[in-house]
Amino acid sequence: MTQNADNVLDHFELFRGPEYQQMLENKRRMFENPKPAEDIERVREWTKTEEYKDKNFAREALTVNPAKACQPLGAVFVATGFEGTIPFVHGSQGCVAYYRSHLSRHFKEPTSCVSSSMTEDAAVFGGLNNMVDGLANTYSLYKPKMIAVSTTCMAEVIGDDLNAFIKTAKEKESLPADFDVPFAHTPAFVGSHVTGYDNALKGIVEHFWDGKAGTAPKLERQVNGSINFIGGFDGYCVGNMREVKRIFDLMGVEYTLLGDNSDVFDTPTDGEFRMYDGGTTLEEAANAIHAKATVSMQHFCTEKTLPMIEGHGHEVASFHHPVGVAGTDQFLMEVARLADVKIPEALDKERGRLVDAIADSQAHIHGKRFAIYGDPDLTIGLSKFLLELGAEPVHVLSTNGGKAWAARMEEVFASSPFGADCKAYAGKDLWHMRSLLFTEPVDFLIGNTYGKYLERDTGTPLIRLGFPIFDRHHKHRYPVWGYQGGLNVLVTILDKIFDEMDKNTNVPSKTDYSYDIIR
């Protein structure tokens, strides 16, 4: 039945109609050079074997479905965390469309970002004219308080100099000479969105602390009692940043959040469009130099930024996306030490409630085997929490994790008897994970939306934690940090465990002896 106005079918039903099935079959037969079904099935079964896994892990020149994005995405994310700031990417429009759609699909919010619209001529002759015109248009049309510039592959391959280009644009009066335009070179062909986050944040902090690229004197540090907090690239920034503020307020900590995207990625529907909402003010970003210490919630997101801040006289501390009891304990004790405050009774009670919840549910998680993939800090934090629950993070994979990450993972495994048979896979992709799930099966898989294909292919149930999550809504509104965040992660894991228990015990009079009302 074809689509018509009197009986509108959604896509679930529409494309199952005979005419669409015939159309798809004709397409396969005429254009896709199909192979016999038995040959396809034979190869599919072979790819599930140890023999194939050995060949898969031996490959060097090919990446299949990496669990990471490119540097400019992280740079765009950073820029949105500052008051009135629009990200400006020196590169093609197509690249910027990807960054905007990736963030918008995860947070379900419009993501503002502009491009210098480089095309073939700019690739040959350089993108100076694109920069001059692009900054002028951005300043005039969108009325930002700051424009944060980053680059894509095209600009980096031809060697465009952002510092020189921005100075030239100001000389040509594209924007005022004293207007804030921090920048960072973020080549998309190396590193990942985590690297881009680090480069861009470092560029913004250096801009304010070290004299605004020569247009102002360097700031003289006058130490106060505050601390700076850096969240890192975080798909849960809406919930996490608000949770961190709540915790700091309870503790009486004087603080500055460097790059607070919690409002811009969670604007209300009240008749007013907010291109810019919330964020760290530019004055706060500049005054952050006077803090006594700076804390990073994700070490691998600030490998360049933290040493630079430390070089300005700050005491620094970093964590690995702390989730659960021990991770939150460590974070709170370090913040209390740095800020010279006490942890209040209210947080002690929250800790006790999380411990109680774990005790209530531990029997259902103990001994379960998990595979995890994602960003370096996230995988470390989740692995530590699983070990805390008595579970086994058997396969932990990070495409953008390197030797330092792998060494840290080995320390995590060695810290618990449940880590004895666990292994870390640095620089590997989701096709490697597929081989692991077939040859060394686990009970559950933890990762972002792209794991749903592994779930369908291998039958391993997916628990969605990480970035991006496109096919479920509003996960980003709930924290995963702090004791409250640990409870959210615990419930997310338990819900999937119970769903699978019900799914496997729901045949009346055959398997429903465990189809229990009480778990």
Residues annotated as part of the active site: 153, 157
| Helices first, then strands: H and E counts in the chain | 21, 12
What number of CA atoms fall less than 13 Å from residue 502's CA on the CB side? 10
| Contacts of residue 292, Cβ cutoff 8 Å, sequence gap at least 6 | 223, 224, 225, 226, 227, 314, 315, 338
CB of 470 closer than 8 Å to CB of 451 = no
CB of 413 closer than 8 Å to CB of 420 = yes
Distance, CA of 87 to CA of 283 (rounded, Å): 18
CB of 57 closer than 8 Å to CB of 84 = no
CB of 104 closer than 8 Å to CB of 71 = no
Strands 227-230 and 146-151: unpaired
Taking residue 440's Cβ as centre, other Cβ atoms within 10 Å add up to: 15
Tokens of 304: 């360049």
CB of 182 closer than 8 Å to CB of 79 = no
Q: Which amino acid is at 358?
A: I
For 310-406, strand residue ranges (E) read 315-318, 369-373, 392-398
HEC string of 461-485 equals CEEECCCCCCCCCCHHHCCCCHHHH
| Contacts of residue 216, Cβ cutoff 8 Å, sequence gap at least 6 | 178
Q: Three-state SS for 82?
A: strand
For 339-431, strand residue ranges (E) read 369-373, 392-398, 423-426
List 147's β-bridge partners, or say none.
Answer: 86
